Amino acid sequence: MSTPHNAAEKGDIAKTVLLPGDPLRAKYIAETYLENPVCFNTVRNMLGYTGMYKGKRVSVMGGGMGMPSVGIYSYELYNFYDVDNIIRIGSAGGLQDDVNVMDIVIAQGACTDSNYAYQYQLPGTFAPIADFDLMERAVTAARSIGANVKVGNVVSADVFYNKFPDVNKKWASMGALCVEMECAALYMNAAYAHKHALGILTISDHLFKPGELTAEERQTGFHQMMEIALETAE
């Protein structure tokens, strides 16, 4: 079955999907790491591929920027295509002094300023967290390749160009490691579908220190993150 956003048919997509924001990063991963990758989606140029990695069937697909976009793609993958695991692989802006450009952050939890959870009509505040088994495997994989990895809370923001200059200092004061724009919605979709999700992030810039990657480096240079995610995939 296809959707308005995905041309794949049932069975075209593996049980585990790597979900970078950038569809060109998905294409790069498929062509670099997967054996015999087959493209299952080109709708809106949100490229998706399925292939083999070390004997495991794995898919990789772009998810776009922001919670509305990743919310659509992850919801459809979980609920329409029988996907069990989604591993977000993306970039993030560092917030803490001991977080540096090209460090790996594994998002144990995702704080957010988004109202994404309103749809569940909960009598309180929902705390979006990662799947522990995926997180444990990712930490093991990261340490095995010598990655500089940190595990903890991240911030999933709805606004990239925020008019309030001190907003990120406030999140940093509560120990958030970095800021990105997707994990909270992914984790909520996984919880509601009783599926599994994890965010693995590479620090592409720092909000309080010098250093920033180019767009090309973000697209093709996150090899440690890509390899950790592929090793984590079931």
Output the pLDDT for position 13: 98
| Active-site residue, from 84, 113, 158, 205 | 205
**Helix (H, G, I), strand (E, B), or coil: what is residue 232?**
helix
Beta strands in the chain (DSSP E): 16-20, 35-41, 48-53, 56-61, 85-94, 104-112, 149-156, 178-180, 196-206
Output the pLDDT for position 130: 98
pLDDT-flagged residues of the chain (< 70): 218-221
Output the pLDDT for position 106: 98
Q: Is 103 a catalytic residue?
A: no
Output the pLDDT for position 220: 65
Q: Over 26-57, what HEC string results?
A: HHHHHHHHCEEEEEEECHHHCCEEEEEECCEE
Question: CA–CA separation, 79 vs 160, rounded Å?
Answer: 29
CB neighbour burial string for 9-34, b if at least 16 within 10 angstroms, e if fewer: eeebbbbbbbbbbbbbbbbbbbeebb
| Residue ranges of domains in the chain, CATH in brackets | 16-232 (3.40.50.1580)
Output the pLDDT for position 196: 98
The amino acid at residue 155 is: V
Q: What is the pLDDT of residues 12-68, one digit of tens each?
A: 999 999 999 999 999 999 999 999 999 999 999 999 999 999 999 999 999 999 999
* Residue 73 contacts residue 183 (beta carbons within 8 Å): no
